[in-house]
Amino acid sequence: MNRKFFFIALFSIVLFGGNISDNAGSCSYTFLKNIQSARSEGMAIKGIALPAETPYTLDNNALIPYHGQGIGFSYRNLWGFGNAGSVWYSRNIGEDQGINGFIHYVNYGTIDRTDQEGNITGEFTPMDYAVGFGYGKRLSGNLKNLSLGVSAKIIGENADDMSSMGVAADMGLLYRFTKQRAQIGLSVKNAGIQLSALDEEKFPLPLMVGAGLSGRIPGLPFLGAIEADYFQDDGLIIGLGLELASIDKFKPRIGYSIVPKVESDLADAEGLHGLSAGFGLELKRFQIDYALKHYGVLGLSHNFAIELDI
């Protein structure tokens, strides 16, 4: 196997693999498992059933019709040697439909290029990216509480003189209960194929099937959320999150994700692995969100997002 390919694959597994499971390395484009929304990450979930108060909830396309119109970006540090982020745009089409467009990227920082003897011959910067468009629609009549959505994306990876490409689709359903105080969502993500590989061998995409429930907790000033996400390579991950809903324009958040324990998993070496927190702040037409997540031995990662309601 090409040495550069091996290093990049291992690097991305550690960053975005959640935990080093027995199936680690069995999928390509592991960055697609990354939580894009700072609001969702502050609650340790992907946001499959969160109320669509802002236009950047990209993990369930059935939420698109509720987003409104806005543009925004997010930025995440990767422990000082790389970064990741997203740019998105969302708008309504009539009263019951919506579309969005998005770009996700991961910059893994500068890596030394070496020859077969290990001599440094230069540097390169590996990157992953996904570009896509989504559509969502609220149904009518007896199904007026139900919405659905789909999206398609092109996925790429560049590493020095190597590159790969894939295509994938995401699908989602959402049901809003009476008076909209609770909702349940289903999502299938990354259903697709790798068209070309960095090396000779192609790998499947990290297929995810997830379900979530969110709603106001009776008698308490919190929005609660629980989510179960099954990843083809990582297995089942459970997320639990709370958002304080009683303070106008300021929303503190906290969450914890439960992942399968693997004895040799370095990312589980510290007890705080899986813990996250954050807040949302509304300033007129701007929504600002911040999340802090603990990745065990890797340390803390910061996720910042800002969007403009247009």
- Token pair recorded at residue 156: 């790429």
- Token pair recorded at residue 238: 């459970």
Q: What's the rounded Cα separation, in Å, for the pair 250 and 265?
A: 36
Q: Give per-residue pLDDT as tens, 166-211.
A: 999 999 999 998 776 899 999 999 999 999 988 878 889 999 999 9
List C-alpha distances in Å: 211 to 62, 237, 264: 13, 11, 29
- Tokens 């629980």: give the residue: 226
Residue pair 93/99 in contact (Cβ under 8 Å)? The answer is yes
Q: What is residue 4's predicted lDDT score, i.e. its pLDDT?
A: 45
Q: By three-state DSSP, how is residue 10 classified? A: helix
Q: What is residue 17's predicted lDDT score, i.e. its pLDDT?
A: 47
Q: Which of 82, 51, 80 is nearest to 67 (CA)?
A: 51
Q: What is residue 2's predicted lDDT score, i.e. its pLDDT?
A: 44
Q: How many CB atoms lie within 10 A of CB 310?
A: 13
Q: What is residue 205's predicted lDDT score, i.e. its pLDDT?
A: 93
Residue pair 296/272 in contact (Cβ under 8 Å)? The answer is yes
Q: What is residue 165's predicted lDDT score, i.e. its pLDDT?
A: 95
The residues near 117 (Cβ < 8 Å, ≥ 6 apart) are: none
Q: What's the rounded Cα separation, in Å, for the pair 23 and 309?
A: 42
Q: By three-state DSSP, how is residue 301 classified? A: strand
Q: Which domains does the chain have, with CATH numbers?
A: 3-309 (2.40.160.60)
Cα of 13 vs its chain's centroid, Å: 15
Residue pair 206/33 in contact (Cβ under 8 Å)? The answer is yes
- Token pair recorded at residue 39: 């609001």
The residues near 32 (Cβ < 8 Å, ≥ 6 apart) are: 104, 130, 155, 168, 189, 190, 205, 206
- Tokens 């659905």: give the residue: 148
Q: What's the rounded Cα separation, in Å, for the pair 27 and 301?
A: 23
Q: What is residue 309's predicted lDDT score, i.e. its pLDDT?
A: 86
Q: What's the rounded Cα separation, in Å, for the pair 28 and 198?
A: 10
Where the chain has pLDDT below 50, the residues are: 1-14, 16-20, 55, 263-264, 267-269
Q: What is residue 20's predicted lDDT score, i.e. its pLDDT?
A: 46
- Tokens 């639990």: give the residue: 240
Residue pair 138/97 in contact (Cβ under 8 Å)? The answer is yes
Q: Which of 198, 246, 189 is nearest to 28 (CA)?
A: 198
Q: What's the rounded Cα separation, in Å, for the pair 134 and 92?
A: 12
Could you give the residue ranges of the DSSP H alpha helices within 32-123? 38-42
DSSP assigned state of 178 = G
146 residue type, one letter: L
